[in-house]
Amino acid sequence: MSNPTAAMLVIGDEILSGRTRDANMHFLAGKLTEAGIDLREMRVVGDVPDAIQSAVRALSEAYTYVFTSGGIGPTHDDITADNIAAAFGVAIDVREDARAILQAHYDRSGLEMNAARLRMARIPEGAALIENPISAAPGFILHNVYVMAGVPSIFEAMVASVLPTLTGGTPLTSRSLTIHRGEGDVAAPLTELAARYPALSFGSYPFQRDGAYGTNIVIRGQDAAMVEAALADLAALAE
């Protein structure tokens, strides 16, 4: 049984200019791995209509789920919702349920509902809303694309609300071992081990600490017992 696949699309000039360091990719990667959803690709594009539309179309066709972050706020550079709608050829307009959610939030917070804030109630036709427990403005789901906010606290809250609704797979078991030898010394036995366990994935991550070489080996797979067996073999090889 192969697991469902996923891609992430980060939208925002501020990441590409180096002004902001993205935190959402790493967060989502960890959550999807726990859920047994196989994250295959991530992309970052700017606030550029063609770039957003062509990435969304390509990723939506290639993977089970697509998750986006960024570009759903009230300002002129928040163009994600319009371009998701355009990517799928559907209309977009202010939707009453989204407007009501925003209005209730602004009434509670003493903020004024103006034209800019009303833009955040623009939802593509046929989309389902994603709850935003922090600043109310909803995300949405259109086909297999989950459109969420870029602000990390809001992104994380939205991920928490959509994750239980996804069809997950068998979570990967992951075990690691630190070997106090250079990666070049570990490579040959590791290649043999990888050939012996074709269903598992073996990663090798070199480090240098206090002038000494070392390598962290990570073994991953859906069969927990097989991962443990490979880890025992590796430990024996490393002695």
Closest of 191, 181, 193, 195 to residue 232, by C-alpha: 193
Binding residues among 145-174 for a second copy as defined by CB under 8 A: 151, 172, 174
Judged by CB under 8 A, the chain residues 206 through 235 that form the site for a second copy are 206, 208, 213, 218, 220
Q: Where are the alpha helices (DSSP H) in the chain?
A: 13-16, 24-34, 49-62, 80-87, 96-109, 115-118, 152-162, 183-196, 224-238
Q: Considering the complex, state which of residue 119 and residue 122 has its C-beta at the smaller distance from a second copy.
A: 119
Tell whether residue 94 is a contact of a second copy (CB under 8 A): no
Q: Does 76 bind a second copy (CB under 8 A)?
A: yes
State which residue, 126 or 203, has the beta carbon closest to a second copy: 203
Q: Which is nearer to a second copy, 89 or 195 (CB)?
A: 195
Least distance between a second copy and beta carbon 84 (Å): 18
Could you say whether residue 5 binds a second copy (CB under 8 A)? no
Torsions phi, psi for 142 (to 5 deg): -125, 125
Q: Which residues are within 8 A (CB) of 198 and not within 5 positions of it... i.e. 6 or more apart?
A: none
From the list 4, 36, 74, 168, which residue makes contact with a second copy (rule: CB under 8 A)? 74
- Among 67, 82, 42, which Cα is nearest to 160's? 67
> Which residues in the 25-64 window bind a second copy by CB under 8 A?
25-33, 39-46, 48, 51
Q: Out of 152, 205, 212, 232, which residue is the one contacting a second copy (CB under 8 A)?
A: 205
Among 104, 160, 187, 232, binds a second copy (CB under 8 A): 187
CA distances from 88 to 52, 82, 83, 136, 138 (A): 12, 10, 9, 25, 19
User: Does residue number 73 form part of the binding site for a second copy (CB under 8 A)?
Assistant: yes
Query: Two tokens at 215?
Result: 């390598």
